[in-house]
Structure 1
Amino acid sequence: MNFEKLDVWKASAQLSAELYIELKDLRDWGFKDQATRSGLSIPSNIAEGMSRTSASEKKRFLNITYSSAAELKTQIWIGQKVNYLDKELGTKWINQLDIISRMLTGLSRSLTEST
């Protein structure tokens, strides 16, 4: 499966790029690093997982991806609370992560059904 055609990969790669752009001037390097790394791991793990040959390996990577989305959601929430992130932008990203998480669940289910 060509991961680049997956809407979930496209959405998560776009979100990751937005994180890098928005946080580029943040002085709290630890927070910035953690948020951008968890954001980057979402499309990266989709790519790596969907490049695997077995459905079980693909699903394992999608589970890791789902966890990274939850991690990023937490970091965005905290970023809003400490005023690192605009509330409106943070809410938009959290909503995008909810959609991405549902898409990951659907993709994982489709792998189960196809085996």
Structure 2
Amino acid sequence: MAIKCFEDIVAWQKAQDLAVVIYKDFKNNFDWDFRSQICRASVSVSNNIAEGFDRGTKPEFKRFLYIALASNSEVRSMLYLALRLNYINEITFKDILLQSEEIAKILNGLIKSLTPRT
């Protein structure tokens, strides 16, 4: 079955879930700059998937998937910092990290599927 809208993309669905978790887990964080950055990065993942899909071409979609992948990496990097700064505990860190790693795998698979075979 062909994907008809970005809402059907599993990576988009999981990225939305990730953003919700990030917003909930950091909503009471007193470090406004940190909270803002990790929230913006988490939202950027699903937004770039959506925007790229609706560009309507494989090269544009692929380009935006790479941007989504980079935003997802930014979230992961910030998670490590959040743990070191004691903004989150080890369990929360591991749970969110697993979500992010799963999204990265799906995005890499999508990118690979859009890459012409030689």
Q: TM-score range by the shorter chain?
A: over 0.9
Asked whether 1:50 is paired with 2:56, we answer: no
Matching residue of 1:84 = 87
Aligned to 2:22: 19
Tell me what 1:66 maps to. Answer: 69
CA drift of 1:113 comes to: 4.6
Q: Take 1:52 and 1:3, find their aligned partners in 2: how far apart are those partners?
A: 11
Superposition CA RMSD, Å:
1.3
Letter in 1 for 2:114: L
Gaps of 5+ in 2: none
Q: Which residue identity does 2:111 align to in structure 1? A: S
Q: Deviations over 1:11-69 (max 9, x none)?
A: 11011011111111111000000100000100010110111111110000000011111
TM-score by length of 1: 0.94
Q: Which runs of 5+ in 1 are unaligned?
A: none
CA distance in 2, matches of 1:49, 1:41: 12
The alignment's TM-score, normalised by the length of structure 2, stands at 0.91
1:9 to 7, 12, 15: 12
Moved beyond 4 Å, runs of 4+: none
Counterpart of 1:99 in structure 2 is 102
How many residue pairs align between the two structures?
114
Matches of 1:48 and 1:107 in 2, distance apart? 15
